[in-house]
Chain A
Amino acid sequence: MIEVKNIRKSFGEKIVINDVSAAMKSGQCNLIIGSSGSGKTVLMKCMVGLFAPDKGEILYDGANFVEMTGEQRTNIRKEIGMLFQGSALFDSLTVQQNVMFPLDMFTKDTTREKLKRVNEVLDRVNLVDTNKKFPSELSGGMKKRVALARAIVLNPKYLFCDEPNSGLDPQTSLVIDKLIREITIEYNICTVVNTHDMNSVMEIGNYILYMYQGNKEWEGTNKEIIFSKNQRLNEFIFASEFLKDAKEMRMLEETGKMPPGNN
């Protein structure tokens, strides 16, 4: 469980995150959604401590991350896995070395044990026969999967994914989304995902936080989101005409009449 309390972050004069609070439970996918530039990445980086928030608290199972000493932070960090928007694989290492890196650094396992674990997670993200390849030889979707494998190799309690399916085709996106959901449930991880992809929202959004220009505009679940009356959220969700039609049909089915304001 991660609780965000009244987080505020500004760069110079510009307030990028304004008094945002949220509670994200373990064993489910917690989504931060919003259009580009709404502050999703900055909020996530505040949560993991890559940015220091101007004010507010980040509680990891009750412990305030913002006020921790370096050593305490390091201990929490060992339980965090993060998938970056650009994958952030180490260029000079092969896929196998990339995924093994956290094990090399933080465990005293033998090479054979480590290799076994690496193959387990690579298998988990459906990558086979890529162990000896370098990141530059992989496609975008494969890189994301390697990065996901690296993020989960130490069995994290908290998993952060920054736009896990940006730049991927819809099918590959779906594969990644499903993987994230399966892993979350399987290991009871507290997963936080940034996205502006509505498919992901509907597919995995157990908890959704909608950001609008740095403010929390709406929160709820994927069951509630399409019935939301929030004007800005609706504009975001129903950016495509097709979805708008779908919503109208559904409203029609539920209430027997067309929603007001549409003709």
Chain B
Amino acid sequence: MGIISDIGRYLLMLKGMFSRPENGKMYWKEFMHQCSDIGVGSLGIVAIISVFIGAVSTVQTAYQLITPLIPKSTIAVIVRDTVILEFAPTLTCIVLAGVVGSKIASELGNMRVSEQIDALEIMGINTKTYLIMPKIAAGLLTIPMLIAIAMALGIWGGRLAANMANIVSPEEFDKGLHEGFLPYNVFFALAKSYTFAFIICSIPAFFGFYVKGGSLEIGRASTKAVVISCIMILFADYILSALLL
């Protein structure tokens, strides 16, 4: 029962978000602010994890491909495809659910508990539009960009690891990268990243926006927001894979 009413309120929140901004300039300012917070703010962590993920998948693929019948460049093919299809979008978004999601939930939760949301409401501002819309829009713009960067850095990390551990030479790796490349995979990864971006921003916004009680509740709400976002990401990952692949 609780879940159903939560879903209902979540959908109502999304619907309430669509209203005419009171002042376009202020909304633009808030949007740019969120882009820098969500996008630029997470660039470092995304870069680090994607390089390592690429490196690890190279080493592990090489470990599993022991037969000399398969050419070494196949390792590059496998690394390329797993990074693009799964690791860059899904793993990055799981990490972003922690980084961005908890930030959104606690920021809105704090504003709710300290009556800042009420203060905006009294001024005659549509708080759902002003506080939630720019976050979701910024997420939809910057998170797919972060994932594109993660793809490139992941493959680069794999190439680096292959070279350093003398698994595959850079020339052979590059040859593998060009073998049977499907642009559809990139499209699929982007479809995933838009979906995940929406989840990462809207679910924590819901939990933060409707916090009741005191500061203890803010912590609880952001934990819950991260957990549910992660579950929803994995669930959406499965659904999209079943539908699109």
Residues of chain A whose beta carbon lies under 8 Å from any beta carbon of chain B: 45, 48, 50, 73-78, 80-82, 84-86, 88-91, 101-102, 104-106, 160
Write out the residue numbers on chain A whose beta carbons fall within 8 Å of the beta carbon of B123: 77-78, 101-102, 105-106
Question: Nearest chain A CB to B206's CB is how many angstroms away?
Answer: 19
Question: Nearest chain B CB to A157's CB is how many angstroms away?
Answer: 13
Write out the residue numbers on chain B whose beta carbons fall within 8 Å of the beta carbon of A74: 124
Asked if B26 and A88 make an inter-chain contact with CB atoms under 8 angstroms apart, the answer reads no
Write out the residue numbers on chain A whose beta carbons fall within 8 Å of the beta carbon of B124: 73-78, 80, 106
Asked if A85 and B23 make an inter-chain contact with CB atoms under 8 angstroms apart, the answer reads no
Knowing A48-B122, A74-B124, A77-B122, the reply to whether A104 touches B115 (Cβ < 8 A) is no
Measured between alpha carbons, how far is A73 from B124 in the docked complex, in Å?
Answer: 8
| Complex: chain A residue closest to B123, CB-CB | A102
Question: Nearest chain A CB to B49's CB is how many angstroms away?
Answer: 28
| Complex: chain B residue closest to A84, CB-CB | B115
Knowing A105-B125, A106-B22, the reply to whether A88 touches B110 (Cβ < 8 A) is no
| A-B residue pairs in contact (CB < 8 Å), sample of 15 | A45-B118, A50-B121, A50-B122, A74-B124, A75-B124, A78-B123, A82-B119, A85-B115, A88-B115, A90-B116, A91-B114, A91-B116, A101-B123, A104-B25, A105-B26
B21-36 CB mask vs A (1 if < 8 Å, else 0) is 0110110000000000
Measured between alpha carbons, how far is A94 from B119 in the docked complex, in Å?
Answer: 16
Write out the residue numbers on chain B whose beta carbons fall within 8 Å of the beta carbon of A75: 124
Question: Nearest chain B CB to A106's CB is how many angstroms away?
Answer: 7
Measured between alpha carbons, how far is A102 from B122 in the docked complex, in Å?
Answer: 11
Asked if A86 and B122 make an inter-chain contact with CB atoms under 8 angstroms apart, the answer reads no
Q: Contact partner of B118 among A76, A88, A90, CB < 8 A? A: A88
Asked if A91 and B121 make an inter-chain contact with CB atoms under 8 angstroms apart, the answer reads no
Write out the residue numbers on chain B whose beta carbons fall within 8 Å of the beta carbon of A50: 118, 121-122
Q: How many A-B residue pairs have CB under 8 A?
A: 52
Asked if B23 and A86 make an inter-chain contact with CB atoms under 8 angstroms apart, the answer reads no
Question: Nearest chain A CB to B119's CB is how many angstroms away?
Answer: 4
Asked if A105 and B115 make an inter-chain contact with CB atoms under 8 angstroms apart, the answer reads no
Write out the residue numbers on chain B whose beta carbons fall within 8 Å of the beta carbon of A78: 123-124
Measured between alpha carbons, how far is A258 from B116 in the docked complex, in Å?
Answer: 51
Residues of chain B whose beta carbon lies under 8 Å from any beta carbon of chain A: 22-23, 25-26, 110, 114-116, 118-119, 121-125
Question: Nearest chain B CB to A87's CB is how many angstroms away?
Answer: 8
Asked if A80 and B122 make an inter-chain contact with CB atoms under 8 angstroms apart, the answer reads yes
Question: Nearest chain B CB to A146's CB is how many angstroms away?
Answer: 12
Measured between alpha carbons, how far is A201 from B58 in the docked complex, in Å?
Answer: 75
Measured between alpha carbons, how far is A90 from B26 in the docked complex, in Å?
Answer: 15
Measured between alpha carbons, how far is A89 from B114 in the docked complex, in Å?
Answer: 8
Question: Nearest chain B CB to A66's CB is how many angstroms away?
Answer: 16
Write out the residue numbers on chain B whose beta carbons fall within 8 Å of the beta carbon of A86: 114-115
Asked if B22 and A88 make an inter-chain contact with CB atoms under 8 angstroms apart, the answer reads no
Measured between alpha carbons, how far is A80 from B119 in the docked complex, in Å?
Answer: 11
Write out the residue numbers on chain A whose beta carbons fall within 8 Å of the beta carbon of B26: 104-105
Write out the residue numbers on chain A whose beta carbons fall within 8 Å of the beta carbon of B119: 82, 84, 88, 90
Measured between alpha carbons, how far is A143 from B124 in the docked complex, in Å?
Answer: 22
Which of B23, B122, B124, B125 has the most chain A CB atoms inside 10 A of its CB? B122
Question: Nearest chain A CB to B81's CB is how many angstroms away?
Answer: 43
Measured between alpha carbons, how far is A15 from B26 in the docked complex, in Å?
Answer: 40
| Complex: chain B residue closest to A154, CB-CB | B123
Measured between alpha carbons, how far is A10 from B119 in the docked complex, in Å?
Answer: 23
Measured between alpha carbons, how far is A105 from B115 in the docked complex, in Å?
Answer: 19
Write out the residue numbers on chain B whose beta carbons fall within 8 Å of the beta carbon of A106: 22-23, 123-124
Write out the residue numbers on chain B whose beta carbons fall within 8 Å of the beta carbon of A81: 122
Measured between alpha carbons, how far is A105 from B124 in the docked complex, in Å?
Answer: 10
The 10 tightest CB contacts between A and B, nearest first, are: A77-B124, A88-B115, A88-B119, A74-B124, A82-B122, A84-B115, A78-B124, A105-B23, A88-B116, A102-B123
Measured between alpha carbons, how far is A106 from B118 in the docked complex, in Å?
Answer: 17
Write out the residue numbers on chain B whose beta carbons fall within 8 Å of the beta carbon of A90: 116, 119
Question: Nearest chain A CB to B224's CB is how many angstroms away?
Answer: 23
Measured between alpha carbons, how far is A74 from B20 in the docked complex, in Å?
Answer: 12
Write out the residue numbers on chain B whose beta carbons fall within 8 Å of the beta carbon of A73: 124
